[in-house]
Chains A and B, each alone.
Chain A
Amino acid sequence: MTYALIPLLPFAAFLILGIFGHWIKDKAHLVAVPAVVVSWLLALMVFFDVAGGHQTSFPLYSWLTSGLLDIHIGFSIDRLTAVMLLLVTTVSSLVHIYTIGYMHRDPGYARFFSYIALFTFSMLMLVMADNLLQLFVFWEAVGLCSYLLIGHWYDRPAACSAAMKAFIVNRVGDFGFMLGLLLVWYSFGSLDYSEIFVRAHESAGEVINVLGPFGGTWDISLLTLICVLLFTGAVGKSAQVPLHVWLPDAMEGPTPISALIHAATMVTAGVFMVARLAPLYNLSPTAMTLVAITGGITMIVGASIALTQTDIKRVVAYSTISQLGYMVMACGLGAYAAGMYHLLTHGAFKALLFLGCGSVIIALHHEQDMRQMGGLKHKLPITYWTFVVGSLALAGFPLTSGFFSKDHLLVSAWSAGPLGQCLTLLGLVTALMTAFYSFRLVFVTFWGPSHVDPHHADHVHEPSNTMTLPLIVLAMLSILTGYLGIPEFLDPLFETGAAEATHEGGAAIGIMVAATCMGLLGIAGAYYVYVVNPALPDRLAGQWQSLYRASLHKWYVDEAYDRTIVRPTFVGATELWKRVDVNVIDGAVNGVARAIAWGGWLLRLTQSGQAQHYALGMALGAVVLLTMYLFL
């Protein structure tokens, strides 16, 4: 039961800060940091327990029963969970420490800590879940934390819009997740992972006619439908095309959040889900293909946009989208261990890059435009060197963690058949772009002449120790995570052929050499373009104007959504309200009322109060009655 403390400690910190934050104020870190650090120690314990072959799952309490529905909250600890626990608590602890410096003197200091503690709790519950509903509940809860934290600076309209966009786009994905969940329960009668996997094997051949209610016939394998619906949720959460639009905007939030939520942990939940449900996905090749292709497209789209962005955080954000694409692609090709391996190394070096960005942003008084930077490497040496380590890892430079994981990922992908080989080539192209944009970032920000606002230029200095310490630790982790043997640790869990094929044959060496060359070429290219020949970027942009614009405007996806979905929805709502509710329904209601009033007014005419009218009426009546009596 000590395992239960891992999520509960951050939750306790959240409750204390949520209720007493008003009084705790700038001492908030004294509550949150110890809680998360102890969680981290416990997660370390879990990791060694699991490495020693100890797996466990236990229910916490019965959440809801109704008819045959029986859902509990419970934990399941296996190798996959252990890796995620370690990642979440490590990055969370470091980000908590970094936040002490970054959010110093922010009026929402305590609130910020309470939210990241809540996030840590939710994320831990998510990865420890032993059933799909618990996964979904905390899946949405981390989304809520993301919403609250993106909108932390609520007096900035851009931050509020970004928060709302993140939540609603995720809801679109979760709509599919929810339907997948319902279909799982309907088909398998349970939402527990262990139960689902057993039942899924039994119903492998079942088909479902999705056009049945409309009289058509379109049989889809039940498992494919389930997997695709659940994957919709992952597309939203892990910012895959076409639901990737929320992640770059989410950079409006404070930078520690970008590192924790929008790089290392929450956005990887989609990858985690696919890996968690690997036994389900393995049964549906169609769904797997879709997952792989989605990942592949996202990988290259993200990288192509990152090439031209000028906001330092947005470059890293698009890079995250692209790297998530790699992981999703790997899962889709059955190389779950490789995907999870890259998830882990990416968590370390991407958190490092974001925290490095934060350090630069703070030093420059919240300047985020790369064009207003330059020449910072001597003023911010620790930030610079750690940033370089992170960028090397991202670019896949030999002997960094990113090198090992990306190489492992591409080799595994290559061995997964023709689709895998196509996607591997795409992955190599993306690797070239990755190396290029990550060193573009390094050179433009830290090298060359300074474009810093002269008002601030003299005061630029390294941030406090609480901020540089996490940078140094993460830089070390960005190297070390490559040597932990994570794929070997995870392989027993997934039992797929992809892993065995990994390190054999000339293809593996060929891909390793190719990937390394791509990385070096990208770095060299960035060096040539941004250091040797600084006039070149503008000339290139002029020559390839349409391509440059498309990349700069993120392939116009936001504009397309705005025109086709967002605006018509809002305009349509007002129109429909006026036409149907105000005119038709209320028109009818008021019409009935008016008709009754008018009828009453007509009848009232007969009540004239004059005796001769009544006499006339009586006489006429008598005549009518007499006629009827005589002739009918």
Chain B
Amino acid sequence: MSFVPETSARWIALAATLANLCVALPLWWLFDPQTSQMQFTEHVAWITAPPIYYSLGLDGISLPLVLMTVGIMPLCVLASWNAITTRVRGFMAMVLVMETAMVGVFAALDFVLFYVFWEAMLIPMYLLIGVWGGTNRLYAAIKFFLYTLAGSMLLLVAIFVLYYYGGHTFDILALSQGTYPAQLQMWLFLAFFAAFAVKVPMFPFHTWLPDAHVEAPTAGSVILASVLLKMGTYGFLRFSLPMLPDASRLFTPIMVVLSIIAIIYGAYMALAQVDLKKLIAYSSVSHMGFVTLGLFVLNQQGIEGAVLQMVNHGITTGGLFLCVGIIYERTHSRLIADNVGLAAPMPQYATLLVIFALSSLGLPGTNSFVGEFLVLVGTFSWSKIAAAVASLGIILAATYLLWMVQRVVFGVPSPHHLPNLRDLNQRELVTLVPLVLLIFWIGFYPNPLVSRMHQSVTNTLASMSREKVAPTAHPSAGGTAPLLVDSDEQLEIQGESR
């Protein structure tokens, strides 16, 4: 990238991301939804001692996320087409590095490889915010960097501990089959929590998000909202649940309460915002609350709803940030007060913005409704009160989003900005329309997507309900009371799964 002229950097980045999409898209059809095995695996020795592999693969949980990631990236490049005027080469390079790292995180089957990708995301994101960001970009970039780095340190420690307790391997699948002492599980869970909860972000670790979003360039915001936030919830689902089932069950009430606080609190905070990006950032906190809620009610509907909601949030919130970027290019302001009455001068833009807002507030017929419905169904069987309180979030969502729409879309535009308010050009239409199609496709016919998750989610739940017993080497730490399972049967199941 550093050898190409600035002007062609855009085209090269677009070609690269599109090529990636073309390669990834057939996986949708090649994927076999009948099995919970990892598919499309690659397994190459990387470091022999300790044994670290370049090991990749997809299952029903990671496939939708990978497809969403590679689908979002060309749109990010297109959205930065005119918005980024300085150091285009560097910017595009960072975007492409991000894509590698993000796909890597979702596909990695080796814990060290995962961690490498995980940390590799930090630097380009830091630069995207810190170099191409807004006025207060340094504060936001450092806040983002330190917040997440502090969490990741503990993740690294946890990975090493798992290596020693899990039979000297970094293989994620093998570690998921392992059994760990209950007490150890608790500490590992907390270490994972530090890394993942910050990324999601869960209440009360969410304050980096509004700052990062406000300062980031459009593409940065989109990547952050659509993909980066999913890393945290993906981590919970891929590691915390199958590896630490006892601790997960133990912490379920706390996680559910934190999720519900996030849903209500995030939505309520969104109501107070005057900056479009901050409003959407807080709505993200609320929506991601639904994801963590779905994960930790620990049943089929909840988890499938959570995975679906990860994808939905990527599509919908990505679309909303793209919309904010488009209007920022015209009025150079993200304040709601500066962007009013867009329906008359920009009818196409207004239509699409309303569709994204309706999707975000979970209107039936759009994608988010399906995800939220599944999560609520899952939550309801865990606790009716929890589901009832979480449902309040959808009233608040309608309020802050429609109020935003009322101010931004309706009314009369200020004469000061009117000459700049031209409707969407073809490039901008191309960035937004695919997302709208996805919104309605998932809204009206979610079954193909959800049915691809069935086996993997069932498998995750099965590996959780398999009672885990501490290895004999650490009898003191394990042996908690509820492990009343026939030991022969236990061995049999373990033997089968290895």
Contacts and interface: CB of A to CB of B under 8 A. Distances in A.
A140 B364 contact: yes
B272 to A, nearest CB: 4
A585 B376 CA distance: 29
B391 A178 contact: yes
A586 B380 contact: no
A63 B402 contact: no
Contact of B410 (A67, A138, A160): A160
B380 A213 contact: no
A573 B380 contact: no
A574 B279 CA distance: 12
Interface in B259-278: 268-269, 271-273
B298 to A, nearest CB: 12
The 8 closest A-B pairs by CB, nearest first: A67-B300, A137-B364, A573-B272, A573-B271, A154-B410, A574-B272, A577-B272, A160-B410
Interface string B287-331: 000000000000111001100000000000000000000000000
Contacts of B358: 144
Interface string B444-468: 1111001100100000000000000
A261 to B, nearest CB: 17
B410 A569 contact: no
A160 B350 CA distance: 14
Interface stretch (B3-11, B92-100, B392-400): B392-400
Nearest to A172: B395
Interface stretch (A98-106, A179-187, A273-281): A179-187
29 contacts: A61-B445, A63-B447, A64-B450, A66-B300, A66-B374, A138-B364, A140-B363, A141-B364, A154-B343, A154-B344, A155-B410, A157-B411, A160-B410, A163-B406, A171-B395, A175-B395, A178-B394, A179-B388, A182-B380, A182-B387, A186-B380, A213-B385, A570-B272, A572-B268, A576-B272, A581-B210, A585-B206, A586-B207, A589-B143
B446 A63 contact: yes
B364 A136 contact: yes
A573 B374 CA distance: 28
B204 interface: yes
Contacts of B168: none
A53 B445 CA distance: 33
A55 to B, nearest CB: 27
Nearest to A153: B410
Contacts of A569: 271, 399
Given A178-B394, A179-B388, A179-B391, A154 B409 contact: yes
A576 B268 CA distance: 9
B403 interface: yes
Given A140-B364, A577-B269, A589-B207, A155 B344 contact: yes
Given A66-B304, A69-B374, A572-B268, 18 more contacts: A66-B300, A66-B454, A136-B364, A144-B365, A154-B409, A155-B344, A160-B410, A161-B406, A178-B376, A179-B388, A182-B380, A186-B377, A213-B383, A213-B384, A573-B272, A577-B272, A585-B204, A585-B207
Contacts of A67: 299-301, 304
Given A171-B395, A585-B207, A160 B450 contact: no
Contacts of A585: 204, 206-207
The prevalent SS among residues of B at the interface is helix
A56 interface: no
Interface band, chain B: 35 or more
B381 interface: yes
A164 B392 contact: no
Contacts of B444: 63
Contacts of B391: 175, 178-179
Contacts of A61: 445
B377 A160 contact: no
B363 A144 contact: yes
B240 to A, nearest CB: 21
A114 B237 CA distance: 43
A589 B387 CA distance: 31
B380 A137 contact: no
A47 B108 CA distance: 60
A65 B450 contact: yes
Given A144-B363, A168-B399, A171-B395, A155 B411 contact: yes
A10 interface: no
A62 B380 contact: no
Contacts of B388: 179
Contact of B402 (A68, A141, A154, A167): A167
B43 to A, nearest CB: 31
B106 to A, nearest CB: 21
Contacts of A164: 402-403, 406
Given A581-B207, A589-B207, A64 B447 contact: yes
A593 interface: yes
A183 B143 CA distance: 43
Interface in A125-158: 133, 136-141, 144, 147, 151, 154-155, 157
A171 B146 CA distance: 40
Which among A63, A178, A574 has the greatest number of chain B C-beta atoms within 10 A?
Answer: A178
A569 B271 CA distance: 9
A160 B394 CA distance: 20
A63 B445 contact: yes
A147 B395 CA distance: 15
A573 B395 contact: no
B27 interface: no
B412 interface: yes
B214 interface: no
